[in-house]
Amino acid sequence: MRVFLRRVTALIGFVAALWIIQAVNWATSYALNDAFGLIPRHVSGLDGVVGMPFLHGSFEHLIANTAPLLLLGALLAATATRALVAMNVVVVGFGGALVWLLGSSAIHIGASGLVFGWFGFLITRGLVDRSPVTLGASVLVGLFYGSIIWGVLPGQPGVSWEAHLFGAIAGTAAAFLLRGHVHAPRMRDVDRP
C-alpha cells in the first residue's frame, strides 16, 4: 500500500507541476510553447520531445488532460510494479520522436500524447500479460476511455492527432518491450510491517 501511495503522490505532484507550468506559460503569453514545444524536423524543436507533455495551449486544454492523467495514472500505479519510468521513457521518447519525424508543421504541445500512450500501454499490457489484474485494468480503460481512440484520426483543427496516434503506438510498443518487467503486483512487492 505504501508503494501505491508513493506512486499516487508522484502522479499528483506531476499534475500539479503541469498546472504551475501552465500558470507561468499563461503569464508569459504562452512563450514557453514557442521555446519548448515540439517542432517537427527542426533541430530547435527537438527538445519538444520532452517538453511537449508539460505545455498546453490554454487552461481548457490542460483541464481536458487532467482527468485522464489522474485516472489512467492511478491504474498504472495500482497495477504495475516495475519499469514505470522505462514505460514513460518509451512513450515520451518514442512517441515524441515519431511526432518530430512525421508530424505536421506546427508546434505540438500537450500531455494528450502521454494520455494516449498510457491508454495504449494499459490496453495492450492486459492482452500481453493476461493476468486477472492487468486484464481487469484493460477492461476498465476500454469501458471508460475506449472512445478516445477516435482522437488518433486527423480532422479536428488545432489538435495534434499525430501526438495521439504516436503516443498510442509508443504505449503499445512499451507493453511488448517491457512485458517481462511490468506486471501485476507480486507478494514480495507488498509492504511488510
Q: What is the pLDDT of residue 184?
A: 43
Pick the CATH number of 2-188 from 1.20.1540.10, 3.40.50.300, 3.40.1800.10, 1.10.10.60: 1.20.1540.10
pLDDT band at 98, cuts 50/70/90?
Answer: very high
- The proportion of the chain whose per-residue pLDDT surpasses 90, expressed as a percent, equals 68
Q: Where in the chain are the domains?
A: 2-188
pLDDT band at 193, cuts 50/70/90?
Answer: very low
Q: What is the pLDDT of residue 183?
A: 52
pLDDT at 16 over 50: yes
pLDDT band at 39, cuts 50/70/90?
Answer: very high
Average pLDDT over residues 176-191: 59
Instruction: Write the pLDDT tens digit of every residue in 127-154.
Output: 888 888 888 888 888 888 877 777 777 8
- The proportion of the chain whose per-residue pLDDT surpasses 70, expressed as a percent, equals 92
Cell numbers given for 28: 508569459
pLDDT at 32 over 70: yes
